[in-house]
Structure 1
Amino acid sequence: MLRKILSCKSCSYRTVAGLDDLVARLRLVGQLRRDKDPDEGIVAALLAEYAALMTCPTCKAIGLQASDADDDWQDEDDWQAAVLCEVCRKPIDPERLEFLPDTKRCTECQHKTEAGTLPDDDPEFCPRCGALIEIRVSRGSGLTRYKRFCTGGCVIR
């Protein structure tokens, strides 16, 4: 399992990030937009190159450092920081993780998802150029129609 320590040179921020957290951070800097389940080797290679473009969540400085996590990384604070909710990015309770070790959402976000009040934030990307797809109202009379538009300028059929 891939685990890396991310730290900031400007402040004392330090966290241990698992594969899911690393993939989310790489997507924020424009990588892995199309790949739903990337290989650990690809994530490690991209992290080595793009960690310098990542923003520190505490001081907002650009440029994190990535290093390998030791086997004694399971200090309580680091363990919680390594397992973050995929929606709200808050640490998932240790009791929830003990009961459901593969969970990716905290209790609050899971309840919102089950109730249908959590919006689906999974973005769609253009198969031709990789830019974001927007859904817009089409012009015309009669029924309201929605069309998909590529933000990169491609024509989607």
Structure 2
Amino acid sequence: MEFFMHEENAEYRKIECTMCGWETLLDFSGVFEWLVKFGILKPNHDIGDDLVYELFHGMAERYQCPDCASPKLELSVVLDDFSDVEAQRCRGCEMVIPRERLEVVPGTKYCVFCQEKLDKGQPLPIQAEYCPVCGKKMELIRDHESRHGDFKWVCLSDPPCRYRKK
């Protein structure tokens, strides 16, 4: 894999699977979430942008395609000619909606993958929450103490830190 680290001001990082064709475009927060997903960073970790991008490219051998689990992913830097325009995020998965999609479907609120799920009547995934105390993933469960059947986020750490968020 060839990386151009001198292009630190690039807006996006692109990940493509050479096996199944899956691809995604990540801005800084997407890169950070990707590193959390693969256990490289804790979600409440506060580090500089340069180190986040360096970790993202340096740990590429740990990544797997979310569709086919292939480790054969190509990473590249995508320069944005419109860096003064704020990127629009998908309301379903919160990934950056590619500019090409916004040109074809102006005003869209969902990326291609989430829109396909909605069209098929499938539910969109709930975004993961992370515990502000220990950094582990949290799970959305029904609050049995509530009269109205409310839900709450519960930390999944072992041993439990017992953090709960309504």
TM-score by length of structure 2 reads 0.49
- Structure 2, unaligned stretches of length 5 or more? 1-9, 82-87
Q: Conserved in 2, the CA contact under 8 Å of 1:93 and 1:106?
A: no
2:130 paired residue number:
125
Displacement of 1:106 in angstroms is 3.4
* 1:96 corresponds to: 102
Measure the CA separation in 1 of the matches of 2:24 and 2:154: 38
**1:131, distance to aligned residue in structure 2 (A):** 1.1
TM-score, normalised with respect to structure 1: 0.51
Paired residue secondary structure (1:136): strand
1:44, distance to aligned residue in structure 2 (A): 0.9
Higher helix share: 1
1:64-75 counterparts in 2 under 5 A? 64-68=73-77
Match of 1:105 in 2: 110
Kept in 2, the 8 Å contact 1:2–1:40? The answer is no
Distance 1:38 1:13 in 2: 32
Confirm or deny that 1:22 pairs with 2:37: no
Q: CA RMSD in A?
A: 5.0
**1:45-103 deviation digits (Å, cap 9, x = unpaired):** 2212321111135753225353545x6x99xxxxxxxx9957467x7573624756xx7
CA distance in 1, matches of 2:68, 2:139: 32
Deviations 1:9-42 (Å, cap 9, x if unpaired)? x74959684426534533431355636x986424
Q: Percent of pairs identical after alignment? A: 22
**CA separation of 1:16/1:58 partners in 2, compared to 1, >3 Å: closer, same or farther?**
closer
Among 58, 69, 74, the alignment partner of 1:60 is 69
Paired positions, count: 139
Specify every segment of 5 or more residues in structure 1 that has no aligned partner in the other structure, as ranges: 75-82
Q: Which 4+ runs in 1 deviate beyond 6 A?
A: none
Cα distance in 2 for partners of 1:85, 1:39 equals 25
